[in-house]
Amino acid sequence: MKINVLDTTLRDGEQTPGVSLTSSEKLRIASKLDELGVNIIEAGSAITSKGERIAIKTITSEDLNAEICSFTRTIKGDVDAALECDVDSIHLVVPTSNLHIEQKLKKTKEEVLNQAIETAQYAIDHGLKVELSAEDATRTDMDFLIKVFEEGISIGVDRLCACDTVGILTPDKSYDFYSKLSTLDVPLSVHCHNDFGLAVANTLSAIKAGASQFHSTINGIGERAGNASLEEVVVSLDNLYNDYQTDIKINQLYSVSRMVARLTGVYLQPNKAIVGENAFAHESGIHADGIIKNSSTYEPITPETVGHKRKFVLGKHIGSKGLKQRLDDSKFNYTQVQFNEIFNKVKYLGDLGKCVTDVDLQAIADEVLEIEKNDKIKLEELSIVSGNKVIPTASIKLKIEDKDILEASVGVGPVDAAIGAVKKGIADVADIELEEYHVDAITGGTNALIDVILKLRLGDKIISARSTQPDIINASVDAYLSGVNRLLEVDSND
């Protein structure tokens, strides 16, 4: 059975607290969603603002394959705003629960029903497809809910949607609820929120009950605890169910997830299913050994399926086979005695509670193997000017091979200015992207040691780097340059 996907990252997802996308960012996401194979893109709510209408119209002007939709209330002015943006359809949302009708709208059921049908008819008369959506449907009297939907069907709406607005369904209740609606004569959509962490499970149950379309967002972003995660629903349908197919290109899920995280600023917890950084990461020696022999021992799908990559994490649980794999990937030559020494050092650091990064491993291996470091980029000088009513400014002198590079930069703080100056200095060498930055004070007092941990990306290569010093600026620059040098070395060895 074919299941269609309505993605609402640009509407419900943008309602995540703190998220506000520009027109160009919305277009980039919409274009990627179209490439991904999403059937319907809810591009926003046209009535929201002039800027929102510009963004939606920018998307509709691109002639994407996906149907472009605008959220509307049961107000003709909302429909007019959507028409102004040249969308293909509207997601017409009508509150149907007694709570919403009486407490929010302060109207009667008859008034709400009549307004919904009049607005739907107005949209249909103006050539729009209409998805009639019941807000708070799962707390609505079933007889009234069916009446709303049947009235919509009678005037020609194209799709129905029942929303679990506050995420109160369980998988069993979801199956029962959507089973009662799936016998209606038009396609049924499921729209689940994740307040109890059940949005994906409830969505899958609804599909099993007869829903032929689901609403979701990339990474499950959205109001409160978010929406059903597109990647989790799609990969579950593809791997755990035999009777359902979507048009989603599954091998693009990881790249789309990362782009949405970057543009929205809503980054994922590492253990996020399917697309989290640890989704295919292994530290345990037993697990690493099994994965190396046969990946299916501890992975239900391969990371390549979703465009991800496997990695072995170094820590106290690492086994000899996992460490050997990492050393071999880094092109180290070592004896068994040298390997044992590296292994013991990694275990020792793990027992101290430290996660051994790529840079840490490089330093350990260099020490054991007595390899002379030959960093391509070296810091010669660093000076900072910062203070009250003074824009933080950093000046640096780098030696890149035999060439001296002088650069300066300003920033929101001295660390930002220093990293900015370094980035300018290495711009001609490599386009390095700072993915993550984290700092901890690991001792007490004003002279506390500062532990800076960051992740850098060069193309598809990611390196973790760390530096521990009393000064946060020096530690940040040292960690940044350590990671850059390691990335350049790995890149040159490929």
- Structural domain spans, the chain: 4-264, 281-369, 377-493
In CATH terms, 377-493 corresponds, of 1.10.357.10, 3.30.160.270, 3.30.560.10, 3.30.420.40, to: 3.30.160.270
pLDDT at 242: 83
pLDDT at 283: 57
Listed in sequence order, the DSSP H helices in 265-301 are 285-293
Task: Name the CATH superfamily, with its identifier, for domain 4-264.
Answer: Aldolase class I (3.20.20.70)
Q: Give the DSSP letter of residue 225.
A: T
| Confidence band, pLDDT 50/70/90 cuts, at residue 402 | confident
Quick one: average pLDDT of 252-261?
95
Q: Which range (21-35, 76-90, 197-211, 355-369) has the least confidence?
A: 355-369
Q: How far apart are CA 240 and CA 242, in angstroms?
A: 7
Are residues 259 and 47 in contact, defined by beta-carbon separation less than 8 angstroms? Answer: no
Q: How far apart are CA 162 and CA 179, in angstroms?
A: 12
Q: How far is CA 330 from the centre of its chain?
A: 29
| Confidence band, pLDDT 50/70/90 cuts, at residue 47 | very high
Straight-line distance from the first to the last Cα atom of the chain, in angstroms, rounded to the nearest whole number:
44
3-class SS of residue 385:
strand
pLDDT at 345: 82
Are residues 30 and 59 in contact, defined by beta-carbon separation less than 8 angstroms? Answer: yes
| Confidence band, pLDDT 50/70/90 cuts, at residue 373 | low
Block residue for tokens 């021992």: 297
Q: Tens digit of pLDDT for each residue in 197-221?
A: 999 999 999 999 999 999 999 999 9
CB-CB neighbours of 345 under 10 Å? 18
pLDDT at 25: 95
Q: Tens digit of pLDDT for each residue in 144-158?
A: 999 999 999 999 999
Radius of gyration of the chain (CA): 27
pLDDT of 4 strictly over 70: yes
| Confidence band, pLDDT 50/70/90 cuts, at residue 350 | confident
Quick one: average pLDDT of 462-469?
78
Which residues lie across from 216 on neighbouring strands? 7
Both tokens of residue 237? 């349908």
pLDDT of 286 strictly over 80: no
Mean pLDDT of the chain: 90
